[in-house]
Amino acid sequence: MFFPSRQSFLRVVDVTKRFPGVLALDSVTLELYLSEIHSILGENGSGKSTLAKVIAGIYVPDRGYIEILGKPMKLLSPVDAVNYGIYYIPQNPNLVERLTVVENILIALKSYSAFARVSEVRSLIVEESQKIGSLIDPEAEVSELSYTQRQIVELVKASLLRARVLLVDEVTTYLPTSVREKFYSYLRKLKSENKIVLLITHKVSEAVDVADRITVMRSGRIVKTIEKAEFDVDYVRKLMFGENGYISEPPKNVLLKDLTTENRRAVVKLDRVWVISESRGYALKDIELSVKPGEILGVVGISGSGQRELAEVLVGLRSIRSGRYYVDGLDVTNRGPEAIRAAGIGFISETPLYHNLSGDLSLVENLALATYGKLFLPLKLLTAKTRELMEKYGIISTSPKTPVKVLSGGNIMRFTIARELEFAKKALIVLNPSRSLDEKFKWSFINTIKNISRSTDMSVIYISESLDEVLQVSDTVAVINGGRIVGVFSRESVEREVLEKLMVM
């Protein structure tokens, strides 16, 4: 179909990229138009992030090239890409934690040979952050910023560097719903300014809602590029997963475990716990929770209700001001993550490279550190176990010796899940795990959690902003609002409308 009003700015021409043992991109050709939001959609490991990094000059293709305004260009580094108006925003912001926002941006501009006055940078930080609805103090240390605010800092960099093409790689994965909508509005504003937004995502609904065109990738190849008029969620899912490989609905609920007659001691118990927030108020207020052997407790609430703080308390990363925390009857209050982990508590975080894994270490090294502690096991045995988990959980990596940081976000989360399920003996704490997972693996993971809980008596606390997920996985549902537990219900008897009202009251 011919669109004479469109102006092509950038073309990817027959690009192939190989890593040892993996064909990441296979003869990919793609065209980007000015004034469009173009979404690259695919499941984890489909090649979408690799494609973005080739366009951004982070990876050099083995074959093929990039055209800008009809002329082939050599993009041998991110500096080259920035000089052509291309800027890449990664899922995990590339900032120095101990420097201020202004200092981070000035360092970035200097590295790209760009000049800006300090006063100009300060003003732009305030201006851009206000547009997205999350005001940032330019003099704040990055370590004090939320994930959302850090992503805004990356947007400020792009603005100061006068980017024409903005590559947004799974940035919305960790954004709260309210902020996500403002972020989409900001992307539409960039489109209205004759710029290009390439939105990398594994979320079908996001691509359908935001994009003007969608390109679906699978196994390093482009399956199809479709126009707005062709957007249909089920059709896009079929393109993404294949005719027989996609899931249009969550799997049917298996029978809930009968916990009413069990009188065993709680595996995890919080007794009237109060926790201080960063603003010196209370992030958690008088929390009482208990989870029996084999029980899955879902904790649901809108973003910012205390979910992250609750998870951090449960794994020993946040101090308790008053109240007690027990694991299998043992008081572990403020004893730190080592004691809680030694008690058999696993943790699947929404940000695994921050809470779970060392990006510089290999898969096998990360498995050894977390799973086996101070036991010295033969490397051959550890490597075999890593390969087994890679195959079982569909982790795409060249080898067990691959550094974790080079994996896609989805594969990092899959490895985190595999490692923590291997480790956890008594209980598993789960915080927003599906944000980095494609739809197909998300429901597979939920089924796995349920099956393990029923077969091994492992307790699970599943903390999420997704009511659909919590209703699918849980035996018992607790609602958190404003740092308080405002209701606890049996999944069998509670109505969805009741939970929704408690979440927003």
What is the tens place of the pLDDT at every residue in 319-359?
999 999 999 999 999 999 999 998 999 999 888 888 888 88
The CA-CA-CA angle for residues 160, 359, 315, to 5°, reads 105
Which letter, b or e, does each residue of 304-324 get, where b requires 16 or more Cβ atoms within 10 Å of its Cβ? bbbbbbbbbbbbbbbebeebe
State the pLDDT at residue 5. Answer: 52
Average confidence (pLDDT) over 470-475? 92
Question: Given phi > 0 = left and psi -120 to 50 = alpha, else beta, which region is 169?
Answer: beta
Going by C-beta distance under 8 Å and a sequence separation of 6 or more, which residues neighbour residue 312? Answer: 318
Compute the distance between CA of residue 489 and CA of residue 478 in angstroms, rounded to an integer.
6
Average model confidence (pLDDT) for the chain?
A: 85
Q: Which residue has the higher pLDDT, 504 or 41?
A: 41
Q: What tens digit of pLDDT does each residue of 448-458 get?
A: 889 888 888 99
Instruction: State the burial class of residue 334 (Cβ atoms within 10 Å of its Cβ: 0-12, 13-18, 19+).
Output: middle
Q: Are 194 and 166 in contact (CB under 8 A)?
A: no
pLDDT for residue 247 is more than 50: no
Q: What distance separates the 2 farthest-apart alpha carbons in the chain?
A: 73
Asked if 13 and 63 count as a contact pair (C-beta separation under 8 A), the reply is no
305 pLDDT exceeds 90?
no
List pLDDT tens digits, range 373-420: 545 667 888 899 999 999 988 888 888 998 888 888 888 888 999 899
Q: Is 116 exposed, middle or buried (CB count within 10 Å of its CB: 0-12, 13-18, 19+)?
A: middle
Among 320, 307, 407, smallest CA distance to 49 is for 407
Q: Which tops the pLDDT comparison, 476 or 123?
A: 476
Question: Which ranges in 112-242 belong to alpha helices (H)?
Answer: 118-132, 147-160, 177-192, 204-210, 233-241
pLDDT, tens only, 311-327? 999 999 999 999 999 99
State residue 460's pLDDT score: 95
- pLDDT tens column, 164-181: 999 998 877 666 666 778
Q: Are 471 and 491 in contact (CB under 8 A)?
A: yes
